[in-house]
Structure formats: structure tokens, C-alpha cells
Structure 1
Amino acid sequence: MIRAATRDDLSRLKRIREWLPEPTPRLLETALTGLGFVFVSTAEGRPVGYVLMLISDDAYIAELVVDSAHRREGRATELLKTAIETAEKRGCDHVSLTVHEENEAAQALYESLGFELWRTESDYYADGGTALVFGKKY
């Protein structure tokens, strides 16, 4: 099940966030105050994954993570679809995101949902890795 996150989910989401190689400090907490959109995927009533999206004129997927015990269940796909639908309803004409050049599984997921490679950004990640910037226009 996908639903909007609440402040009550924060402690669980912080644990899930530990699976991200480079989470943005305090972004999750800030987004939950209403400055972003956070949707969770639940199992047995508790969050097991989330997507965090920021919207101004356009939408940016800042974080997407699923607990390792619940990967390969279609949760990331459903979270992304929910974020894309929300962005479209909010009047955005595109959604973008960045992914490490070595994360081939994530790249395949994004491409399966109609995202295209827009550009690359060298030395984007702490390990010196290149970011691939993907986008999806409506």
C-alpha cells in the first residue's frame, strides 16, 4: 500500500534512509513539515520504503529507497508512479532525478517508467562518481 507519510513515520523512515549511500541531511525531516512530498510503501502497516519529492515549478525526486528485505516486490515502481502522478496533478510538466552511474538497477527502473537520460554531472557524488540526470516530460 502507498500512502502519504506522516510525522509519526519519521523514526522508521530514518532507519530506512540508512540504506541510501548519500542521504541529504535533514531533507526528510524538512519535507515532512510540508515543504515536500513523502510517500511510503507499507507492509503489515509499517513503512518499508519511501520516495521524497520536491516541487517548485517542476518536480525533483530527491530520495527513493526501499528496505533491503522488501526489494524486488515492485515497491519502488509504485512509489515512483505515485510521485509522478502527484507532480502531474500539481501542474509540473516534468519530473527529474539523479542516479549514480554505477546503479544500473535504478537506471533500468527509471527507463521502464519512461525516464530518459538528459545529461551527466561529473564528480557529483562523494566517491567522485558521475550523476546521471534522468527526466520524464508529460
Structure 2
Amino acid sequence: MIRPATPADADRLTHLQSLLPEPSPALLESALGETGAPTPATALVSVADGAVVGYALAVPGDETVYVAELVVAPAHRREGRARALLEACAEGGDSLTVTVAADNEAAQSLYRACGFERVERLPEFFENGAAIQYRRD
């Protein structure tokens, strides 16, 4: 099941976010409404047996929705949860854009399997190195 995140999910989302190599805690807090500032970011969660096991942070942009973060708990990977989160991010018929570490072949494989096409290599996008940007129209 995919649903919008709520402030009650914050602890679990923070734990899942810790699995990411370059998380954006401020963006997650903003999407949950914890900063008091309005944000266009949306957090969607994947739930299994009543527990949050994955999430996506989506930010609308010019002609695309940028998926800023996507993570699924290791015990729930390969169950279609990341794919379902991506589809939920695109529900308005919007195109999706993602940026992934250049050495993260597992994520790149997921995006290609979900119909994303490589747009460009961004040499110094992440603090730890290069990234590849993908887009699906």
C-alpha cells in the first residue's frame, strides 16, 4: 500500500533515510510539515503489515517531478515497492526525473526497468562524486 506520509511516520522515515549515502533531512522534515515552512515536496510511503518500509520524496519542477529520495528497507526490496512509489509520484501524468550516484548500478537498473532513460552524467553532483540523471516522460 502507498499513502502520503504523516508526521507520525517521522521516526521510521528518519531511520530509512539513514540508509541513503547523501540524504536531505531538511527536505524530509519540510515534506512532513515539521519546519513550519510551506514546501512543494511530497513524501509518499510504502506500508507492509502496518509498518512503513519505504518512501519517496517528490518535488514538482518545470515539466517534471523530481524524485529527490527513494529508499526501501533491505528486507522489503525486490517486492515492487520502489516501482509502486515511482508510479505514485507520477500519478498526475507527470514525467519523472531522478539523479543517482554513478556507481549505484542497482538503482540505475531499477530506473531503466521502470522506463527511465539516461539524460546526462553530472560529474560533481554529489559530495562524494558523479551522478547520472534519468528521466521518464
Q: Which residue of 1 aligns with 2:107?
A: 106
- Which of 71, 74, 84 is the matching residue for 2:77? 71
**SS, match of residue 85 in structure 1:** coil
- Which of 42, 48, 57 is the matching residue for 1:52? 57
Shift of 1:81: 1.1
Q: How many residues align?
A: 131
- Structure 1 alignment gaps of length 5 or more: none
Which structure carries more strand by proportion?
A: 2
Q: TM-score, normalising length from structure 1?
A: 0.88
Following TM superposition, the consecutive aligned residue runs of length 4 or more in structure 1 with deviations greater than 6 angstroms are none
**SS, match of residue 16 in structure 1:** helix
Structure 2 counterpart of 1:85, one-letter code: E
Shift of 1:4: 1.0
Q: Could you give the per-residue CA deviations for residues 69-88 of structure 1, whole angstroms, max 9, x where no partner exists?
A: 211211111111111224x2
Q: Which residue of 2 aligns with 1:136?
A: 136
Structure 1 counterpart of 2:91, one-letter code: E
Partners of 1:114 and 1:69 in 2: how far apart?
25
Partners of 2:25 and 2:8 in 1: how far apart?
19
Partners of 1:67 and 1:17 in 2: how far apart?
10
Partners of 2:54 and 2:123 in 1: how far apart?
28
Q: Which residue of 1 aligns with 2:9?
A: 9
Identity score, percent: 44
**SS, match of residue 81 in structure 1:** helix
Q: TM-score, normalising length from structure 2?
A: 0.89
Structure 1 counterpart of 2:57, one-letter code: L
Q: Which residue of 2 aligns with 1:82?
A: 88
RMSD: 1.3
Q: Could you give the per-residue CA deviations for residues 3-24 of structure 1, whole angstroms, max 9, x where no partner exists?
A: 1111111111101111001101
Shift of 1:29: 0.7
Partners of 1:49 and 1:30 in 2: how far apart?
18
